[in-house]
Each structure stands twice: as structure tokens, then as C-alpha cells.
Amino acid sequence: MSEPETGQGAEPRLSLNDFLPYRLSVLSNTISSAIAARYQSAFGLTIWQWRVMAVLGETPGLMASQVAERTAMDKVAVSRAVSGLEDVGRLERVRDESDGRAARLHLTPDGEAVYAQVVPIALASERDLIHGLSPDERAQLATLMGKLAAAASPDAPLW
């Protein structure tokens, strides 16, 4: 990262290749797309649908708004993913007993089976990605990501 270049009397110029938010976004999108390519054709899942399934696989019974919070996904994207998963029988909405207007989201048995098949693919993708990092570098990366997450969201932990 470097300071923005300035000319004499000119406004600072942004160099995207040195701008951390841009670099993180491009890296995240590239990694997500590479992993998605490994499960999209086999299971017909979009990146957004897999994110919803991953969250519900770990924490069943969340409401759509809670999924949006945990994934930092737009509520519209969550809604579309939920509807698509419902349409193919991988997710079901269950009315909340304490609030009849709210619905809790659960993977169906078919959704659980797909989840169980995609998890090893996702974990293998992660192993491939960090394979070139030493244990110390992995620990340092985790620490740095934690610091960036805390700076980006000081009032609510991102994970």
C-alpha cells in the first residue's frame, strides 16, 4: 500500500492496485468464483445459494435477516437464494412458534445431502489456497484478518 500520488496543485489520485478495499474485494471475488466453479456444475448452486446453505448447515433455524447479517449479503440476494433453494427442495421455511409472522430456515434432507457433498469441496479448496503459506504465515494472516475485521466493524464482530 502506498500513499496516493499527487501532482503539483492536483487532487490525490487513487491507484486501485494499491487500494486495500479494492484488492480485498477482487481477491474475495476471485477466490469465491474459483471455489464456486467446483460445485456449481455438479449441484446447480449459485455462490449466494451455497453461502445460505453453509450458514444454515452450521446454524439451522435462522431467519433470513440473520443469514444476511452473518454473510454480509444484501437482503435481496438472500431472499433470491432462499427462494431458489426452496424451489428445488433444498430448503424449507418453518413458522416460528413464538412469532407466527417469522419463518425459520432449515435445510431439507436433500439440502443436507448436498451440503454434506459440498463441504469437502470447500475445505479442499481452502487447503489448496493456503497450501503455500507456512504455519506462521497462516497464523499471521488470521491475526491480520481479525484486526481488519475489527476496524471495519468495531461494534459487531464479523465472525
**CATH classification at residue 113:** 1.10.10.10
φ, ψ for residue 61, nearest 5 deg: 90, 10
How many domains is the chain partitioned into structurally? Answer: 1
* 112 is a domain residue: yes
Q: Could you tell me the mean pLDDT of each successive run of 10 residues in the chain, 159 residues long?
A: 64 94 96 93 95 97 96 96 98 88 95 98 95 97 97 92
* 133 is a domain residue: yes
Domain span at residue 82? 45-149
pLDDT at 4: 60
* 118 is a domain residue: yes
* 52 is a domain residue: yes
Nearest to 90 by CA among 45, 38, 149, 42: 45
Please check whether residue 66 is in contact with residue 52, taking contact to mean a CB–CB distance below 8 angstroms.
no
CA distance 29 to 4: 24
* 155 is a domain residue: no
pLDDT at 18: 95
Nearest to 81 by CA among 56, 111, 45, 115: 45
Please check whether residue 105 is in contact with residue 61, taking contact to mean a CB–CB distance below 8 angstroms.
yes
* 10 is a domain residue: no
pLDDT at 114: 98
pLDDT at 29: 94
* 157 is a domain residue: no
* 12 is a domain residue: no
Rg (CA), the chain: 19
This prediction's pTM: 0.85
Count the neighbouring beta carbons within 10 Å of the beta carbon of residue 70: 19
